[in-house]
Chain A
């Protein structure tokens, strides 16, 4: 974590973030997703304009990254081996609500293997583990907010909720912006998957457009022929106000 990562000609922005649209995000209590019932706060949230504690956030340098961190096909595989499953690239841009690329942001991803099985001690699905697939990866966005990683397409999997609930194929994303108030975890779904609209977790989101914003588009032009298909997934973090006339005492 070092301040020298910003180009000399760019001063960091310090304006407050636009408020979150809580009707766009899923509410805390969503009874069809049963675990939320005992884990959802019931009192109103305390609204607060951002202070330095929320405007600032950790920044990660490229020195944390290993060579294969953004290659889930190989980062857990034995020498000369690779993960089983449909090979894909996932690429896109991390933008803020103003459409400006968010540079230098850490993206962390995790997912099930091609059979829909996670490498986790609490996982009970009968689909087999792939000895060459771990399921985690990470990357840092470029100056324009762009990112890319390589993986296999995860499988759908059943989960204990209703008597026969299945998750659509998905990749989990954790995103840091420039301020801790931008912190976000979400999931990426795949174009054309009929399981998306049946999923109680997807359906915690009320607005259809908000769900569509989480569905990656198949991009045959970005595909690597005879190797991997490509899916484009842009992610949007909260934008921020101009800093020129922030609500601060004179001379401060």
Chain B
């Protein structure tokens, strides 16, 4: 016999279900007066440093329909590439930028629109610079465990070409599933849960 490692097991995930809005965006769900505003709806204020952008996200199922009941969270660095988190020991992030956003997809169009700034570059664990990106997390009815992916920026071709994470994708044609094209100040990111354009999801 040897000593037991004594580890606990992570609590098993369960779907967020169709009523996730009640808990996470109650004002959107029509439950007013409990929380002043829904958390994660404002990432920036008028003092936030960096280039203002908008990110339009849709989550599309295996039949080609956008999910109108999903909840999307994004997490990103500030314009200087620093995360607003105690675990980022490299410096202080922009105090006027939360780095975290959360929105429900629209019940009719299935779209959500984040108002944010373009993040700076963050080092990979070996010191190489990653291209600017958002970490994206999706939950919904029918999704048993939250899906992690990343959104890269369509106008960052040079940085994307040397991104150590994108370089890990063996089927090169799938890299484009993580790159959102730019139109004015809007990046449009369609996330495909299934099919020939299935987005690359991460086990991180």
A185 lies within 8 A of B13 (CB): yes
Q: In the bound complex, how far is the Cα of B125 from the Cα of A110, in angstroms?
A: 37
- Tell whether A48 pairs with B86 under 8 Å between CB atoms, given A214-B11, A235-B11, A237-B10: no
**With A12-B89, A28-B144 known to touch, is A41 a contact of B198 (CB < 8 Å)?**
yes
Say whether B142 contacts A36, CB under 8 Å. yes
- Given the complex, which residues of B lie within 8 Å of A228, measured CB to CB? none
B203 in contact with A22 (CB, 8 Å): yes
Q: Please, how many angstroms separate the alpha-carbon atoms of A12 and B146 in the complex?
A: 25
Query: Are A57 and B142 in touch, CB under 8 angstroms?
Result: no
Q: Please count how many residues in chain B sit with their CB below 8 Å of the partner chain's CB atoms.
A: 83
The stretch that binds A, out of B33-41, B49-57, B179-187, is B33-41
Q: What's the Cα separation between A79 and B34 when bound, in Å?
A: 13
Q: How far is the CB of B132 from the nearest CB of chain A, in Å?
A: 11
Q: C-beta contact mask, B60-78 vs A, less than 8 Å → 1, else 0? A: 0111000101000101010
Set of chain A residues within 8 Å of B201, measured between Cβ atoms: 41, 43, 45-46
Mark each residue of chain B from 108 to 129: 1 if its CB lies under 8 Å from any CB of chain A, else 0.
0000000000000011111100
Q: What are 12 A-B contacts with C-beta separation under 8 Å?
A: A12-B89, A39-B141, A39-B193, A42-B198, A43-B198, A51-B125, A52-B125, A56-B88, A57-B87, A136-B31, A186-B13, A187-B14
Docked-complex contact B127 and A39, CB < 8 angstroms: no
B85 close to A58 (CB less than 8 A): yes
The answer to whether A238 and B10 touch across the interface, beta carbons within 8 angstroms, is yes
* Max chain A Cβ within 10 angstroms of own Cβ: one of B34, B83, B137, B143: B34
- A52:B22 contact, CB within 8 angstroms: no
Interface residues of B (CB under 8 A from A): 6-24, 26, 29-31, 33-36, 39, 61-63, 67, 69, 73, 75, 77, 83-89, 92, 95, 98-100, 107, 122-127, 130, 133, 135, 137, 139-148, 150, 165, 168-169, 174, 193-194, 198-204
Given contacts A38-B63, A41-B193, A135-B22, contact A184 B146 (CB under 8 A): yes
Contact B135 A26, beta carbon cutoff 8 Å: no
For window 90-131 of A, CB contacts with B under 8 Å fall at: 95-99, 108-110, 112, 118-123
Chain B residues with CB under 8 A of A51: 122-125, 130, 165
- Which 5 pairs, one residue from A and one from B, show the smallest C-beta to C-beta distance? A110-B23, A35-B142, A56-B85, A39-B142, A58-B100
A14 x B89 contact (CB < 8 A): yes
Query: Which residues of A, 152-186, contact B by the 8 Å Cβ criterion?
Result: 172, 174, 178-181, 183-186
Given contacts A51-B122, A51-B125, 10 further A-B contacts (CB under 8 A): A12-B86, A20-B10, A43-B174, A54-B148, A58-B75, A76-B31, A98-B8, A110-B19, A136-B34, A252-B127
Contact check, B146 vs A185: say whether CB atoms are below 8 A apart. yes
A69/B35 in contact, CB under 8 A: yes
Chain B's closest residue to A206 (CB) is B12
Are A185 and B16 neighbours in the complex by a CB distance under 8 Å? Answer: yes
Docked Cα-Cα span, A12 to B87, in Å, equals 6
Report chain A residues within 8 Å CB of B125: 49-52, 246-248
How long is the Cα–Cα vector from A203 to B5 in the complex, in angstroms? 28
* With A37-B62, A209-B9: A27-B144 Cβ-Cβ less than 8 Å: yes
Pairwise interchain contact B22-A1, C-beta atoms closer than 8 A:
no
Inter-chain contacts of A247 with B (CB < 8 A): 125-126
State which of B7, B10, B17, B142 has its C-beta within 8 Å of the C-beta of A184.
B10
Instruction: Evaluate contact between B14 and A185: CB separation under 8 angstroms.
Output: yes
Note all chain A residues with C-beta closer than 8 A to B16: 172, 174, 185
Let me know if A19 and B31 touch, CB within 8 A: no
Cβ–Cβ contact B100 & A38, under 8 A: no
Interface status of A47 (Cβ within 8 A of chain B): yes
User: A58–B7 contact, CB under 8 A?
Assistant: no
Residue of B7, B22, B89, B95 near A97 (CB, 8 A) is: B7
> Among A76, A96, A134, A186, which residue has its beta carbon within 8 angstroms of that of B12?
A186
Cβ B86 vs Cβ A59 within 8 A: yes
